[in-house]
Amino acid sequence: MAVDLSTEYLGLKLRSPLVASSSPLCERLDSLKALADTGLGCIVLHSLFEEQINTESHQVDTWLDFGSESFAEALSFFPDLNTYNLGPDGYLDFLAKAKKAVDIPIIGSLNGVSQGGWTRYAKKIEEAGADALELNIFHLTTNPDHTCKDVEARYLELISAVTALVQIPVTIKLGDAFSALPNMIRRIAQAGAKGVVLFNRFYQPDFDLEKLEVVPNLVLSTSSELRSRLRWTSILHSTVPLDIAVTGGVHTHEDVLKTMMAGAKIAMMASALLKHGIGHAKQVLDDLRTWMEVHEYTSINQMQGSMSQDALRDPKALARANYLRILSSYSGRNR
């Protein structure tokens, strides 16, 4: 019996749970076509940055005044905003062409932290044909007068503004630094979002000791980074009314299986594709089918959430109660 790899994310029917997340591979039509040919469920385009929108309109972006010295998915400390992604209009034109070039869903991506022109371009991305929109929100708070409530309110106001404006489903790409993540995600759902992506990888700058300059430093993920995503996905499954996507650390078919069993709807891959090439996605999906056949799984849906917190015989394994056991097991192996 053939296994069924299909899943549903943000109301979209996907042929497989493996998704290409935002990366340089998503910036060219030939790469998009090659990605689609591997059997991926959908593609998240590279981000349209808020700075680009403000550069086009000759506005100074107020969030820079808050000390945001780094942002997500940047390939350099600050890209050349006059050429990166061809600017906002170029991004919209590329999105429209991408929709015609492939037969799988395309998710647009906005990266920033304030409303302004951002909400306007959310609507334009919808009009260009995107099947869904991923909001990649990041605000680095360096002002000691700003509280966690201030930051969370900023997120929620932006999400509410976007979801009130567009009809396509909106998903939020989050970092893992929220002190009360389940509560924040519940409020994100109340603000109108349909999904959440766990977790954003923030590329931090480095210091050049010879030039005494701050320089970009891009480090690709490894499978070890998946652990925090698995833990939180397992905890959040069935407790928040959102579809969960996992990104960061998905490199192999085993990684995909783990995310599904934790309760995710999709597993997003970028670093592995950049490292091994686009064809790696097909190999992962082939290995996924083989594993499911050997272990007598007939569908992805059958395993989703099977290792979430509410399904485990020992839910404490995901909590602090397991901390001492982990430390003891490591020291025991090295005696």
Judge whether residue 310 has pLDDT over 60. Answer: yes
Q: What is the pLDDT of residue 75?
A: 40
> What region does 238 belong to: left with phi over 0, alpha with psi -120 to 50, or beta?
left
pLDDT digits over 46-80, tens only?
Answer: 988 766 665 554 443 443 343 444 444 434 334 44
Q: What is the pLDDT of residue 61?
A: 41
For the chain, the average pLDDT equals 84
User: Where do we find the tokens 């783990």?
Assistant: 258
Nearest to 218 by CA among 170, 165, 271: 271
Judge whether residue 81 has pLDDT over 50. Answer: no
- Contact in structure between 148 and 179 (CB atoms under 8 Å): yes
- Contact in structure between 270 and 23 (CB atoms under 8 Å): yes
* Continuous H helices in 198-322: 226-236, 253-262, 271-276, 280-294, 300-303
| Domains of the chain, start order | 7-333 (3.20.20.70)
C-beta pairs of 24-32 under 8 Å, 24+ apart in sequence: 24/75, 24/274, 25/270, 25/273, 25/274, 25/278, 27/85, 27/94, 29/94, 29/97, 29/98, 29/101, 31/278, 32/98, 32/101, 32/102
Instruction: Compute how many other C-beta atoms are within 10 angstroms of the C-beta atom of residue 63.
Output: 19
pLDDT digits over 7-20, tens only?
Answer: 999 999 999 999 99
> What region does 118 belong to: left with phi over 0, alpha with psi -120 to 50, or beta?
alpha
Round to whole Å and give the CA distance between 135 and 23: 15
Average pLDDT of the segment spanning 73-90: 52
